[in-house]
């Protein structure tokens, strides 16, 4: 471990052993969900194409989407979608200068997690009709 030349205290820059702040988790999750959504676009486009092809194909897509493993796949698309959307809106809010302080950043990250969790919960209830 390096020793700081300023105050003689040890400096740890190994990111694997640093406790990341909540804002870092919010940022990482924003990236991960973004990459996941990229892959989802291909699947969604295929569903869209088929659903518009004919009435029979439309009915078939409905059947596929209602089957339980695919329903779960839809959830695996919608959950990162909500998170990415809410985290993106936070960026837009921060662009106006709101929530840029350390405390504001932490609070913003918490709000993003809570709001997207609520939206994901609503989506689950909508899909499975609990």
How far apart CA 27 and CA 24 sit, in angstroms, is: 5
DSSP track, 17-56: TS---HHHHHHHHHHHHHHHHHHHHHHHHHHHHHHHH-HH
Asked if 92 is part of the footprint of other proteins (rule: CB under 8 A), the reply reads yes
At closest approach, how far in Å is the CB of 49 from other proteins?
A: 5
Segment 25-64, which members bind other proteins (CB under 8 A)? Answer: 31, 34-35, 38, 41-42, 45, 48-49, 51-52, 54-55, 58-59
Widest Cα–Cα separation across the chain: 74
Chain position carrying tokens 């569903």: 47
Nearer to other proteins, 46 or 72 (CB): 46
d(Cα 83, Cα 54) in Å, to the nearest integer?
A: 33
Q: Which tokens go with 78?
A: 């919608």
Per-position x/- string for 96-125, each x denoting binding to other proteins as judged by CB under 8 A, each - no binding? ------------------------------
83 binds other proteins (CB under 8 A): no
* Site of interaction with other proteins (CB under 8 A): 31, 34-35, 38, 41-42, 45, 48-49, 51-52, 54-55, 58-59, 78, 81, 85, 88-89, 91-92, 95, 126
């Amino acid at each position: 471990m390096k020793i700081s030349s300023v105050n003689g205290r040890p400096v740890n820059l190994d990111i694997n052993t640093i406790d990341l702040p909540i804002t870092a988790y919010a940022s990482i999750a924003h990236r991960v969900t973004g990459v996941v959504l990229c892959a989802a676009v291909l699947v969604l486009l295929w569903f869209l194409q088929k659903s518009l092809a004919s009435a029979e194909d439309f009915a078939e897509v409905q059947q596929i989407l209602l089957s339980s493993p695919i329903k779960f796949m839809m959830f695996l698309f919608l959950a990162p979608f909500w998170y990415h959307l809410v985290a993106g809106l936070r960026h837009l809010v921060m662009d106006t200068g709101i929530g840029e302080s350390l405390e504001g950043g932490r609070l913003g990250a918490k709000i993003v997690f809570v709001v997207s969790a609520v939206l994901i919960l609503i989506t689950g209830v909508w899909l499975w009709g609990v």
